[in-house]
Structure 1
Amino acid sequence: MDKKTIGILGATGYVGRAAVQTILSFTNHHLLLGGRNQEKLCKLFPMIESRADYLQVDIYNRELLYHFCGKCDIVVNCAGPSKQMLDRVASACIEQSVHYVDVSGDEHLYKQLMKRKQEIEEKELLFIISAGVYPGLSEIFPAYVAETYFDNIDLLELFFAGQGGFSLNAAYDIVCSIEEDTGLGMTYCKHGEAKKIDGPFHRNYSLPVPAGKRDTYPVLNEEFTQMAKRKKIKSAYFYNTYQNNSILNQFVMIKALEQYKTEEQKRASAKMLTEQFGEKKKETNDFTMLHLIATGNKNGKKLQLVSTFLYQNDWNTLSGIIAANVARLMVEGNRRKSGCFFVAEGVHVTKLIDRVGKQNIDLKHTLTELR
C-alpha cells in the first residue's frame, strides 16, 4: 500500500489530537497537521517530525486553506464550529481533488454537498460526513448489527449515554442545531419514514454500568433515518439519555426562550452548556456508551440481540478515533464508491467496527433465540 498524506485540521483540539494519535499508532501514513497556531502544534506533538509536518491554517483564509488541502491525499476536518465553517473546507477539497472526512457535518452540509454530487463523482472523490460519535457511531453500530446478526430487523432501540465535556465550538454547534430544529423530538423511524410516537415511551431506563439509571428522550435525525431505511429496519428508535432532567431542561430553555437570536446569545448559551456538562464531569469518570436491543430474523429463526459498546473515555476522544479509522479505510481502499455519504453508507461498517474495536473498546453481545 502506498504511503499517503493525511491532513488533519483542528489538530490541537481534543478530537483532532485523538485522530492524530490513532493515525500514528495504527498506520505508517504521513500526517500534515493544520491549526491556527503552528507553535502550539509543535509543542503538542513533539518528536514526530519523521511522521508529520506542521502548517499554519486559517479556514477563513482561502489561500492558506487551499494550500493545506492541496498537499494532502485526504483531509480529516476536526475543526469547529461546523455551523460557522459550513462547506468551506469541503469545497476546498473538491477544488483540490482531495478526499474528505468531516467529524461533524449534518443534513445541512449533506444537502449543500449533494448539489456538487456530479463533480465529486467525476473526480472519483469520496466525501464522508457525520463521522464522529453522535451522529456517526450512532449509525455505524446499528448498521453493523444489522449486517452481522440479522437477515431483517423488526424492532431496534438504541440508547446513547455518556459522561464528558463539550468544547465551546461543539456547544455552539448544538445551540445552532436547536435553532435549526435539527432532529425530531418524540419521533421514531417506521419503514424508513419519520413518525411521531403516539403511546408511552421510556421515561426512565436502567442501562449497564457505568451509565446506570437514565432519563431518556427519543429523537430522530436524518443520518439515523437513512441508516434504518437502507437496512430495512421496520421500526427504529434512538434515545438520547441524561443522568437527570437538568441538562435536558437546559436545552428546552434555550429553545423556549429562543436564546440563539443573536451571535451574543448563541455564545452565551454555548458557554452555559459547557458549564452544565463541566459540573457533571466532576461526579464520575468519563465514558461513552451505545446500548442496543434488536429483534428480528436470521436463517428463519426469531432472535433478540442485546449489545453494548463501551469506551472508557469521553466522546470527543472517541470521535477522533472514529474519524481517523474512517480515513484509514479510505486510504486502504475499503470504500464503497465515489460520492458524498453519511458515514454508515460510505465505508464498510463491519471493517470499521473491527478497527475501532481494537482500541480499548468493550463490545458485548448477547444473542437469544425467541420462541
Structure 2
Amino acid sequence: MQSKVLILGGRGRIGTSVALDLLTHTQAQVVVTGRSTATATSPLLEQFSDRLQYLPLDLADESSLSAAISPVDLVVHCAGPFRQRTTAALKTCIAEGVNYVDVSDDRVFTQAALENASSAEAAGVTAIINTGVFPGISNSMVRQGIEQLEAPEEIQIKYVVAGSGGAGVTVMRTTFLNIQHAFDAWVDGRWQKISPYTDRETVNFPDPFGKASVYWFDMPESFTLAKNFPVKTVTTKFGTLPDFYNHLTWMTAHLFPQKLMQHPSFIEALAHISHRMTSVTDRFSGTGVAIRVDVLGQKNGMPARYYSTFVHDSAAIATGLGTGSIGQFMLSQQIQKPGVWPVEAAVTTADFEKMLASRGLVVTQNWY
C-alpha cells in the first residue's frame, strides 16, 4: 500500500523543502498542513499534485490533530519555533501508533520530547527529533567523527549561515528566543552556565564562506551529544554573514532590557524586521550554510584531531534533505528503533553515508 506522510507546518519554507524531498525520493502520499484555509501550496510542489494534499489544521485543536495523525504512516513536525511548542504532536503519534520526525532546534523542547521515550518504546513508535541540517546532519557528522577515535574527549561544532538561510521568519523568531537566557553547556566534564552570543571566534570554513565569526549559541546538540558520547566538552557556536548581523545579534542579546526581550510582540517585531533586512542582503550574501565539526581525542594511543566540513547553498533546502532522508528510511523500515531519539542515537554512520550519496551531498573528512 502507498505510504502516507503528514507534514505539520508544511507550507513554510522548511516544510516545503521536506515535502519536496519526500515526494522526490519516495512514492508516498504527502499531506501538508497550515493554519490558513487557502489550499494553494508552493509552486515547487506542483509537479507532484497527484500525490499532494493540503489540510488546514490548528495544532492546538487536539481532536483535529488526532484525526489528522491517525490515518498516516509518518508525521513530520516542521511547525516552529519549537521553544513555543508543546510535545502534543509527539504524544498524539505515540497514542495513535504513528512514527514521528521533527526539525526541532530547541533544547527545552528536546528535553521534553525525550521524556516520552519509554512510552514511545512501549507503543512501538520510532520518533527521531532534531533532524534537518543543524541539528541533524551536524549530529551525524559528529557520530562519524567519534567512530574514528578510540577515546574521544572533545566535540566542537561551528555553524555559519548566510543571511536568512533561505528560511522564513520563524527562524528569526527562534534566534531571538534562544539568546534571551544563559544556558548549560558541558565543559571540562561538568555543566556550566554560558552567556549566549559570547566568546567570538574566527573559523575557517570551506568556500565560499572562508573565514567567518561564530559565538556560543544554545543548541540541543550541546545537550544530546554530551549525553550520548563519553566526552568532556561539547562546544556549539553559530554565526551569520554578513558579519554586521553578528554585531546586531550581540547587541540584542546583551544590551536590550530583558523584560523587553521577553515580550512576545517585541520578538515578533524583531523577527519581521530581521527578515526584511535579510531579504535585501540575501541577494548578495546568498542563503547557504556551512558546518565544521572537530573531534579531539586519542587514536592509536596518540593525541589526534579529526575534523569534517559540510557546505550547501541553501540552509532551508539542506534541512529538507536531512529530514526527508530520515523520513524515507523510516518509511522503508531501514530505520526502526522504538523510542524517542536525537539523530546521533538513531541514524548509523552507514545510513548517514547512504543519505549523503543519494542526495549528492559531500562531507569532507580530514586529520591534523
Superposed counterparts of 1:94-113, under 5 Å: 94-113=94-113
Q: Give the CA deviation at 1:23.
A: 1.1
- Partner in structure 2 of residue 151 of structure 1: 150
Superposition TM-score, scaled by structure 2 size: 0.85
Superposed counterparts of 1:250-261, under 5 Å: 250-255=248-253, 256-258=256-258, 259-261=260-262
Answer yes or no: is the 8 Å Cα contact 2:205–2:212 preserved in 1. Answer: yes
- Partner in structure 1 of residue 141 of structure 2: 141
Change (3 A) 1:359 1:192: farther
Change (3 A) 1:195 1:88: closer
233, 236, 248: which one aligns with 1:235: 233
Change (3 A) 1:28 1:192: farther
Letter aligned with residue 179 of structure 2: I
Question: Structure 1 residue 294 and structure 2 residue 295: aligned?
Answer: yes
- Partner in structure 1 of residue 344 of structure 2: 344
- Partner in structure 2 of residue 19 of structure 1: 18
Answer yes or no: is the 8 Å Cα contact 1:329–1:352 preserved in 2. Answer: no
Answer yes or no: is the 8 Å Cα contact 1:120–1:340 preserved in 2. Answer: yes
Counterpart CA distance in 1 for 2:9 and 2:194 is: 38
- Partner in structure 1 of residue 279 of structure 2: 278
Counterpart CA distance in 1 for 2:304 and 2:150 is: 10
Q: Give the CA deviation at 1:178.
A: 2.7
- Partner in structure 1 of residue 6 of structure 2: 7
Counterpart CA distance in 2 for 1:332 and 1:298 is: 36
Counterpart CA distance in 2 for 1:139 and 1:74 is: 22
Counterpart CA distance in 1 for 2:90 and 2:111 is: 12
Letter aligned with residue 163 of structure 1: A
Superposed counterparts of 1:35-184, under 5 Å: 35=34, 36-37=36-37, 39-41=39-41, 45-147=45-147, 149-165=148-164, 166-179=167-180, 181=181, 183-184=183-184
- Partner in structure 2 of residue 268 of structure 1: 269
Q: Which runs of 5+ in 1 are unaligned?
A: none
Superposition TM-score, scaled by structure 1 size: 0.84
Provide the aligned length of Structure 1 versus Structure 2. Answer: 360
Q: Give the CA deviation at 1:77.
A: 1.1
Q: Which runs of 5+ in 2 are unaligned?
A: none
Change (3 A) 1:174 1:161: closer
Answer yes or no: is the 8 Å Cα contact 2:70–2:98 preserved in 1. Answer: yes
203, 206, 209: which one aligns with 1:205: 203
Counterpart CA distance in 2 for 1:310 and 1:122 is: 39
Counterpart CA distance in 2 for 1:201 and 1:82 is: 26
- For 1:26-76, what per-residue CA distance to the aligned partner results, in whole angstroms no more than 9, with x for missing partners? 222332222334521386533424433332323233333222111211100
Answer yes or no: is the 8 Å Cα contact 2:163–2:241 preserved in 1. Answer: no
